Chains A and B, each alone.
Chain A
Amino acid sequence: MKKRYTLLWLIPLILAISLIPIITHSVIYRETVFLILMYITLAVSLNIILGYTGYVSFGHVVFFGIGGYTSFYLMHKFGIHLIFAMIMGGVVSAIIALIVGEAVLKLRGAFFAIATIGINEAIKSLVTNLSWLGGATGMFFNFKIYKTYGGAAKAIWFAYCLMVIVTIVSLVTSYFIKNSKFGYGLFAIREDEDAAIVLGVNAKRFKSIAYAISAFFPGLVGAIFFFKAGNIEPEDAFHLVKSIEMIFMVMLGGFGTISGPPIGAILYERLKGILLVNPLFKNLHMAITGLILLIIILFAPGGIVGTLRNRFKKIRSLLE
C-alpha cells in the first residue's frame, strides 16, 4: 500500500486557519474564514461527482438551496435546533439527489449538464411560487430563535464552529472515498463508463451514491449559511453563479484530487476579496474569473495540484 500523507498537512492547515478568528476574537476574520470553509466544503463535495465520476453538475447549487430551505423551514416553523435541522437539510438534499439522479444520471456528458441546469431553474421557479416557503421574498427569522443558542452573537459563533466540523468531515469523506474500492469504481466510470461496466462496476448504483454524497454536504452548508444570514430567498439559494464558483474552485485546484478543491477554494476566496476591494477591478471580477478559468482549461487542465504532481514526481505522496 502506497503511503499517503495529504490529509496529514491539509487537516492541520485548515484547523489552524479556523483557529485564527477564535483566538483573535475578530469578527472580520471570522467572516472571511467562514466563507473560505464554506467554499472548501462546496468545492470538495462537487469534486466527488465532477472530479471523481466525471459528471459535470452545472446546477449543483440546487442542493445548497434545498438544504437551506429545508432547515430554515424546520427552524422557522418548529423551532428545531440547528444541528438537527442541518442534518435534515443534508438528508433531504441527498434523498432528492437520489431521486433526481435515478433519472438524470442516465444522461451523459453535455446532456447531464443541461439537465442539472434545468433542475436548478425548475426548483428555483417552483420555490419562488410556493407561498408557504415565502415566495419570491423568502423567509426571515424571528430573532427569538437565536435565544436557544445564547443570543445572536453566540449563535453565529456556534454556526462557525459547526462549519469547521462540516468542512473537516467533508474532507475526510472525500479522502476515504478516493482511496476505497468505491472510489476506484468512480474513477473507472470517469475514464470509460462502458469499460467500467464490462469490468463489473455497478455504474448505476455507484453514480447514484456519489451524487447523493456530493449533494449531502452542500445541504449542510446551505443550512448553516442561511441560519447565519437570518433570511433566505430563492435568488440567493439557487444562484447559478454559485455553481460556477464551485466549478471554478475545483478546476483551479485540480479536479479529482483531494487537496485541489481546498486549495482552489482558498485561492478563489482571496482572489475575490482582492478584486472586490479594488474599485477598478470590482466590476471586472467576473471577466477576470472567466479569463483565469479559460487559461486553466486550455493550458493546465489538471489545475494547480495536477500540474505540480506532473512536474515534481517526488511530492506525489504529499499532494494528492
Chain B
Amino acid sequence: MYAWIAALINGILVGLVYGLAAIGLNLIWGVMKVINLSHGAFIALGMFCAYFIFHFAGINPFLAVILILIVGLILGMISYFIVLHRVLDAPELSTLLSTYSLSLIIIGLGTFIFTTNPRAIDIGLGSIGIGNIYIPITKILTGLFSILFTIVLYVFLYKTWTGKAIRAVSLNRAAAEFMGVNSTFILSLSFGIGVGLAMVAGCLIAAIFPFTILSGAVYELKSFVICVLGGLGSPIGALVGGLILGLLENICALKIPVGYIPFIEFVILVIILLVKPTGLITKR
C-alpha cells in the first residue's frame, strides 16, 4: 500500500518535470511547426549549467533557474537565426536535419569538454516523511517549480501583448504580419523561450537525478511521447502528458520489469500517433 502511494506521489512530481521539459518542444512545434531535435541537447546543457553554477558559485539550482532561463533564451534566439531562419519555409526534412545538426554540435562539443562521466548535484535538503513514505524535498521543489513555470508561461502567452503576438503568429503568420507583428522577432523569441524552458527543465532534473552529457536524449524522447500524449501545440496538454508518463513509469515499475517500460512508452507513442495524432487533449 505504502509502495503504491509513494509511486503515486513520485509519479506526479517527476511527471511535472517531464511536462515542463516537453513544454519547450511543444511551444516551438506550435509556433513554427518545427520539431526541435536539439531539444535534448539543450536539456543536457541546462543540466551542466546548473552543475557548474552550483560547483563554482555555490548557487542552488532552484535559485539559478532564472539565470539559466535567460541564458537559454539568448542561446535559443541566436540558434534560431543561425540554424532555422534560412530553412523555415523549406520542407520539413530541412528543419529536422538542421536542428539535429545543432544537437550534434552541442553534444559533440559537450562530450569533448565535459566527457561522458556521470555527474550529480547533491544539495541534500533532506526529505519529508509521512508514515513510511519519504519524499525528498528536492523532488517536491522541482514539482512546484514546474507548475510555477507553466503558470508563468500561460499568463505570458494569454495576457501579454508579446504572448498574444506569439499565438497570432502560430495561427497565421501572414495575417499577424499585417497586424504589425514583427514575425521574425516573434519566431526567434518563441524558439528562445522553448530552449530556455528546456534548459530550466534540465536544471531541475539535474537537482534530482544524476546525469551525463548524453542524458538529454532520454528526456527528448520522453518529451516526444508527452507531446504526442497531450497533443502537439498545447502547453497544458504537455503538463498533463507529463503527469501521465510520470505516473505510468512509477506505477508500472511496481508490477512489470523496469526494462519493459521504454517499450511500453514507445508503443503508446506509435499507437497514439496512428489513432489520434492530435493528442488526447485537444484545444477547443
Chain A residues in the interface with B (C-beta under 8 A):
50, 54, 56, 58, 103-104, 106-107, 109-111, 113-115, 117-119, 121-122, 124-126, 128-129, 136, 240, 244, 247, 251, 255, 283-291, 293-294, 297-298, 301
Does B266 lie within 8 Å of A301, measured CB to CB?
no
Return B237 CB to nearest CB of chain A, in Å.
Answer: 16
Taken together as a complex, chains A and B put the C-alpha atoms of A284 and B106 apart, in Å, by 10
- The answer to whether B107 touches A286 (Cβ under 8 A) is yes
Hey, which chain B residues are within 8 Å of A255, CB to CB? 93
Nearest-neighbor residue (CB-CB) of A103 within chain B: B274
Q: Which residue of B101, B224, B259 is within 8 Å of A293 (Cβ)? A: B101
Tell me the nearest residue of chain B to A284, going by C-beta: B112
Contacts A129-B257, A129-B260; A121 near B105 (Cβ below 8 A)? no
- Would you list which residues of chain B between 85 and 107 have a CB under 8 Å from chain A? 86-87, 90-94, 96-98, 100-105, 107
A47, chain B: closest CB distance, angstroms: 13
The answer to whether the Cβ of B270 comes within 8 Å of any Cβ in the partner chain is yes
Q: In the assembled complex, which residues on chain A have CB atoms less than 8 Å from the CB atom of B277?
A: 107, 111
Q: How far is the CB of A149 from chain B (nearest CB, A)?
A: 35
Minimum CB–CB distance for B259 against chain A, Å? 5
Interface pair A286/B266, CB less than 8 Å apart:
no
On chain B, the residues within 8 Å of A251 by CB distance are 97
Residues of A near B86 (CB, < 8 A) are: 298
B267's closest neighbor in chain A, by CB?
A122
User: With A and B bound together, what is the CA distance between A106 and B277 in angstroms?
Assistant: 11
Known pairs A114-B228, A294-B98; A125 contacts B259 (CB<8 A): yes
Q: Are B263 and A122 closer than 8 Å at their CB atoms? A: yes
Minimum Cβ distance to chain B for residue A241 (Å):
10
- Taken together as a complex, chains A and B put the C-alpha atoms of A222 and B108 apart, in Å, by 27
The chain A residue sitting closest to B92, CB to CB, is A109
For residue B256, which residue of chain A has the nearest CB?
Answer: A129
Distance of A286 Cα from B217 Cα, bound (Å): 15
Contact call A56/B92, Cβ cutoff below 8 A: yes
Q: Tally inter-chain residue pairs, CB-CB below 8 A.
A: 131
Which of B104, B228, B257 has the largest count of A CB atoms less than 10 A from its CB? Answer: B104
Which residues does B use to contact A, with CB under 8 Å?
29, 33-35, 83, 86-87, 90-94, 96-98, 100-105, 107-109, 111-112, 217, 221, 224-225, 228, 257, 259-263, 266-267, 269-270, 273-274, 277
What is the bound-complex CA distance between A119 and B35, given in angstroms?
A: 17
B86 and chain A: residue at smallest CB distance: A298
CB-nearest residue of chain A to B109: A287
Say yes or no: B269 contacts A118, CB within 8 Å: yes
Q: Are B108 and A285 in contact (CB under 8 A)?
A: yes
How far apart are A8's CB and chain B's nearest CB, in angstroms? 30
Q: A284-B109, A293-B100 are in contact. List 13 more A-B contacts (CB 8 A).
A: A54-B93, A107-B273, A110-B34, A111-B277, A114-B35, A115-B274, A122-B262, A122-B267, A125-B259, A286-B104, A294-B83, A294-B102, A297-B97
Note all chain B residues with C-beta closer than 8 A to A106: 274
Give complex CA distance A121, B224 in Å. 12
| Contacting pair B263 A244 (CB below 8 A) | no
Our pick among B33, B108, B111, B270 for the contact of A288 (Cβ within 8 Å) is B108
Q: Which residues of A contact B112 (CB under 8 A)?
A: 283-284, 287
Alpha-carbon distance A56/B104, docked complex (angstroms): 18
Q: Is the CB of A293 within 8 A of B93?
A: no
Residues of A within 8 A of B262 (CB): 121-122, 124-125
| Known contacts A129-B257, A129-B259, A129-B260; A115 and B109 CB within 8 A of each other | no
- Chain B residues with CB below 8 A from A129, complex form: 257, 259-260, 263
Which chain B residues lie closer than 8 Å to A240 at the CB level? 217
A54-B91, A129-B260, A287-B105 known; A118-B97 Cβ under 8 A: no
A-B contact pairs, 12 of them (CB 8 A): A109-B91, A110-B33, A113-B96, A114-B35, A114-B273, A125-B260, A244-B104, A284-B108, A286-B104, A293-B97, A294-B98, A298-B87
- A128 nearest in chain B by CB position: B259
Return chain B residues, CB-CB under 8 Å to A294.
83, 98, 101-102, 105
Cross-interface CB contact of B108 among A111, A126, A289, cutoff 8 Å: A289
Q: Flag if B96 contacts A110 (CB, 8 Å).
A: yes
Chain A residue, CB-CB nearest to B273: A115
Q: A129-B263, A284-B112 are in contact. Are A56 and B105 (CB under 8 A)?
A: no
Interface centre among B83, B225, B270 (most CB of A within 10 A): B270
Cβ-defined contact, A283 with B111, below 8 A: yes
Among A56, A104, A106, which residue has the most Cβ atoms of chain B within 10 A?
A56
